Structure 1
Amino acid sequence: MSGISSASGILAARKALLTAAKTALTAETDIDFYSGWQWPVTQPNWVATTDTNSDMDPRNIGPRRSQDETITFGMSIGAWVPGHTEADIEAAFDRAFEILATIQTYIRMTDITLADTVLWCVPGTTDSDGAVDEQGDGYQVEIATTFVCMHRVRAA
């Protein structure tokens, strides 16, 4: 059954989340994808899975020893543009949020179960910031976002 297994669904869902992001952005040629944060990136834009949290509340254990697992995945999305004028700064924010919106829309509309690894997955919190890069020749924006998933752990 979709989103139900005998152990935590973290690993399978984490891989499926990155696959969903890659699929959503298939047409893009200027994005690096990483299954963990790394630096330096080789493209001006990136998507990386980051932190993971799982919570199994013992209060919802059912008679069949099943329980719901809430999994929260962190994701880093970034965009870099040359220059640091006001227009460049806006372009960097626009690009980063365009990447985020594409991933969110794909998951909500096409792959809400992350390839049947979870019962559902929805966008969570989002924080963003930007700065002139270390060399001073471009502006970089990073979005730290989350995706919240529900999985059921059940004994046979």
Structure 2
Amino acid sequence: MPDQNRKDVDQLSHLGSENTVYTFEYDPTQLESFENNHPGRDYFVKFNCPEFTTLCPKTGQPDFATLYISYVPDKKMVESKSLKLYLFSFRNHGGFHEEAVNMIVNDLVELMDPRYLEVWGKFTPRGGISIDPYVNYGRPGTKYEEMAAKRLLYHDMYPETIDNR
């Protein structure tokens, strides 16, 4: 492993820690990044997060979702354990589904400055309605901005069969 990569990995505080502290109040400082070893190549990284939980800001009842987080990295990538701890931090956060997904996009863009990022929340129904907010970001002034506009327009043209809710 090149020296820079070793230094980068050594700065991660969550990875490999046996003293993990779980925070259940929204905390973007949980997020950590590391250097992308392949910044000259476009590729997607996708996280499937089936245990996302937040609270309804009006009733305090829990809302459950599977989050799909996909991005095309540039120089930085999000460390997966830090992402898990960050998502746990929404546990007692009161926010509407759409707000939570937008907050996640904003925090990940600030952390990594990716070329492209999208987050799709598939929330379980409450009151007979499920809400599936989709938010994306493409770096302004690049082909990724155009990609984001197209993916937003066409992201749900062929919805999946819902058989798990």
TM-score w.r.t. length of structure 2: 0.30
Question: Which protein has the larger Cα radius of gyration, Structure 1 or Structure 2?
Answer: 1
TM-score w.r.t. length of structure 1: 0.31
| Greater fraction strand | 1
